[in-house]
Amino acid sequence: MKKQFALKNQDDTEFVQPNVIHLFSLVGMFITLVMGIIELFNEHTMLASILFVASFVYFLGYFAFTRLNNSALSAAIILYSLYLLMFYLVYSGGVENTGPLWIFMVAPVSVFIHGLKRGLIDIAGFLIIISLIMFFPIEIMDHAVYSIEFKLRLIYSFLTVTFLSALYEYSREKSYLHTVELSKKYRQLANLDPLTQLSNRRDALNILKREQVRMKRNKEPLSVILCDIDFFKKINDHYGHNAGDTVLVELAKLFKHSIREQDCVARWGGEEFLFILPQTTAENANIIAEKIQENIHEFAVPIEGEEVSITVSMGIEQLDRSKNIDNVINSADKYLYQAKDAGRNQIFPKHK
């Protein structure tokens, strides 16, 4: 199949799950709001204020996702506001110096939101800043004092959680890519004829529907050619079905090299092929059909030491606003049988 009709690739390297980011921002907003209210009642005014600000920032992340439809911005707001909150909790100690215990959520959230590579870079930067805050605190306001054993064990524990999070994310990404690859392969199998590797009937109909929409939008012509191999049954009967398959495969290759970049050829069924020709009138489709026939006249399939010549009959029809796809295919089919009735190796109708 030509590039024009290749399957559209999904963004396979994007591992962010927008729905989870949306949920995280919503949950984060309510949790920090509730914690802020609790700390306010406990007369921890500074911590309560920080939590209220964090709740508002999570709201901004929620707003960026729901209103601006920008999951990347929402993810950045959520992640880096989480970092800032953790910096404050480590610096101030939180409630009774338990603030640092919250940093363990940073590793899984980071690798989930930004993927393995960038997530680990973010975590490395976070760990450096946390270490500086604990070992070399700047006297901005009252800050927590931790024992050297606590600092080291906190860092060791954080590195362990980071390793486990990275291992999980690596496995998740590998599984995701494998699933995407399998899905892509199954989509291709569903849309390709296994023998000729051309589009099958289902894919051809989907392409026709897309081209019909584009034709109506751009007011451009669209034509089809229905092609049938002459006396194909005799080839199967005389040489066997394997020889018939060889003819179909070799003819499919010739067809693909005989059409333009924007065109598509599909195996319509049995020994029938359908050519879809965008931006093409019936008159120009006739020229393309004649070119294909000329190529076939110079073409022979080697079977059991013999050079077997092939001819085809073709029916042409142009799609316009007054016709649906079924009508166009049926019309092309009628022209095809007129070509066969006229002695085969013909193109109907003739356009001059």
On the CB side of 20, CA atoms within 13 Å amount to: 9
User: Are the beta carbons of 22 and 66 closer than 8 angstroms?
Assistant: yes
Q: What is the pTM of this model?
A: 0.56
Q: Which of 80, 167, 161, 93 is nearest to 125 (CA)?
A: 80
- Segment holding 145, helix H or strand E: none
Q: Give the integer Cα–Cα distance in Å for 204 and 5.
A: 10
Q: Which of 8-12, 16-20, 72-76, 338-342 has the highest mean pLDDT?
A: 338-342
Look-up of token digits 């984060």: 28
Catalytic residue among 271, 290, 298, 317: 271
Range list for CATH 3.30.70.270 in the chain: 201-348
Least confident window among 156-160, 176-180, 338-342: 176-180
User: Are the beta carbons of 241 and 258 closer than 8 angstroms?
Assistant: no
User: Are the beta carbons of 106 and 86 closer than 8 angstroms?
Assistant: yes
The answer, yes or no, to whether residue 275 has pLDDT greater than 70, is yes
Residues 6+ apart with CB under 8 A from 150: 100
Look-up of token digits 């993810």: 75
The answer, yes or no, to whether residue 5 has pLDDT greater than 50, is no
- Residue 348 phi/psi, 5° resolution? -130, 145
pLDDT tens, position by position, 134-163 = 999 888 777 889 999 999 999 999 999 999
Q: Which of 111, 128, 103 is nearest to 166 (CA)?
A: 111
Catalytic site residue 307?
Answer: no
User: Are the beta carbons of 74 and 61 closer than 8 angstroms?
Assistant: yes
Helix axes 241-258, 282-297, angle to 10 degrees: 130
CATH class of the domain whose range is 201-348? alpha beta
- Beta-bridge mates of residue 314: 227, 347
Helix axes 45-66, 71-92, angle to 10 degrees: 170
